[in-house]
Amino acid sequence: MYTALQINTDEIRQGQIYDDSPDPAVRAFAHAIHTDASEANQQLIAIADSNGIRVSRAQGAGVPFQATAQPAKLSPNGKERQMNRVPPEQFFQRERAVNEKAIALYEQAASTSQNVELKSYAERTLPVLKRHLADATKGADAERNRKP
């Protein structure tokens, strides 16, 4: 559960970093991952709460992050965005790798979890992750083909 929360939280942050990209494909994908990861974390935090797992205090449990459905906004001056941005092709490649990892994790949860809520959540979320993987692959291919 903590790994899924961390992946979602990182995706929310990536969405924030790229949400004002000059590239419309990057901007659209950033919006999608931000929105979907926020919703996924809301659902996962609710599952954790209903099972007595305190993810809002995950740091105290030895987990190196604070799970959230909406991390703090990036600085309005855009410095953090610029410092953390990579070229679009690298962004899409990173997203492919992240989604491949997430899909493996969620497939395992969907097939082996004894917790009915968590299993159902994983099953519902898998199609979204697969769509993100397909979109990231398409974006990386388009960026690669755009180069001279």
- Distance CA(22)–CA(6), nearest Å, equals 27
Q: Provide the pLDDT confidence category of residue 86 given band limits of 50, 70 and 90.
A: confident
- Distance CA(121)–CA(118), nearest Å, equals 5
Q: Provide the pLDDT confidence category of residue 77 given band limits of 50, 70 and 90.
A: low
Over residues 127-147, mean pLDDT: 93
| pLDDT of amino acid 62 | 38
Over residues 84-105, mean pLDDT: 93
The residue among 12 and 128 whose pLDDT is bigger is 128
| pLDDT of amino acid 70 | 52
- Distance CA(8)–CA(16), nearest Å, equals 12
Q: Identify the burial level of 112 via C-beta atoms within 10 angstroms of its C-beta, where 0-12 means exposed, 13-18 middle and 19 or more buried.
A: exposed
- Residue pLDDT, tens place only, 26-71: 999 999 999 999 999 889 988 988 988 877 644 333 344 445 555 5
Residue 36 corresponds to which tokens in the numbers above? Answer: 């979907």
| pLDDT of amino acid 52 | 86
- Distance CA(20)–CA(102), nearest Å, equals 25
DSSP for residue 139: H
Q: Provide the pLDDT confidence category of residue 85 given band limits of 50, 70 and 90.
A: confident
pTM for this entry: 0.83
Kindly list the structural domains of the chain, giving each domain's residue range(s) and its CATH number in brackets, ordered by start. 2-146 (1.20.1260)
Query: Above pLDDT 90, what percent of the chain?
Result: 52
Residue 137 corresponds to which tokens in the numbers above? Answer: 């692959």
Within the chain, how many helices (H) and strands (E) appear?
A: 5, 0
Phi, psi of 63 (to 5 degrees): -95, 125
